[in-house]
Amino acid sequence: MITRRAFLFLGLFVGSARAQLPPNIGELRKKALDEAIRKVVGNAQVRTGKVKLELPPLIDNGNTVPLSVSVESPMTAADHVRAIHVFTEKNPQPYVVSAYLGPRAGRARISTRARIADTGVVTAIAQMSDGSFWSDSVKVIVTLSACLEEGLI
């Protein structure tokens, strides 16, 4: 006759241990980022260079972060930037913006304001007309402002 105490003790092991543990958010986000980049790039190799991603290394508030991406390219019909994609690693989802250019752009440069949730790496990937991919990454530190509307400091 199993005692109530023994029954409860057994219950700890019977339930799936995996269900009890919290998900590894960092790992899930890294997988999502890799998949997002793979969707854009396919199996092609992404080389560092040609791309310059500019955003403040120390961010006042992650809600609105000015960022620019420039790519070295003559922007001719034969040799131009087709698209610029920006990704983050710590946001709930990895995409920020995808801008589609072309030889009519004259210059491969876009500016915008993004949301960066947490300290980490922001990546910009340029897709060239010859099918090659180039990238640049910046590590940023995100701070919280003081005295908010609810909760926190």
Partner 1 sequence: MLAGLPAAAAGEIPLAERRSGYEFMSRETRAMQDDAVTGPAVLWLLDGEALWGKLGCVSCHGDAKNSMKGVAARYPALVDGKLVNLEQQVRHKAPALAYESRELLALTAHVARQSRGIPIQINEKTKPFIDAGRAFFHRRQGQLNLACAQCHDDNWGKKLAGNTIPQAHPTGYPIYRLEWQTVGSLARRFRNCLTGIRAELYAPGSPEFLELELYLMWRARGMKLESPAVRP
Partner 2 sequence: MARVVVNVPAQAKRGEVIEIRTLAGHPMETGFRRTQLGELIPRDIIRSLVCTYNGAEIFRADLHPAMAANPLITFTTVATESGTLEFRWTGDNGYSATQTAAIKVV
Q: How far is the CB of 98 from partner 1 (least distance, A)?
A: 21
Interface with partner 2 (CB under 8 A), residue from 111, 132, 143, 145: 111
- Binding flag, residue 15, partner 2 (CB under 8 A): no
Binding span for partner 1 by CB under 8 A among 19-27, 54-62, 69-77, 87-95 = 54-62
Which residues, including other chains, have CB under 8 Å from residue 117's CB and lie 6 or more apart?
62, 88, 90, 91, 92, 142
- Binding flag, residue 98, partner 2 (CB under 8 A): yes
- Binding flag, residue 63, partner 1 (CB under 8 A): yes
Written as one string, the DSSP assignment of 72-133 is -----SSS-EEEEEEEESSSSSSEEEEEE--GGGSSEEEEEEE---SSEEEEEEEEETTS-E
Q: Where on the chain is the footprint of partner 1 (CB under 8 A)? A: 55-56, 58-61, 63-66, 113, 143-150, 153
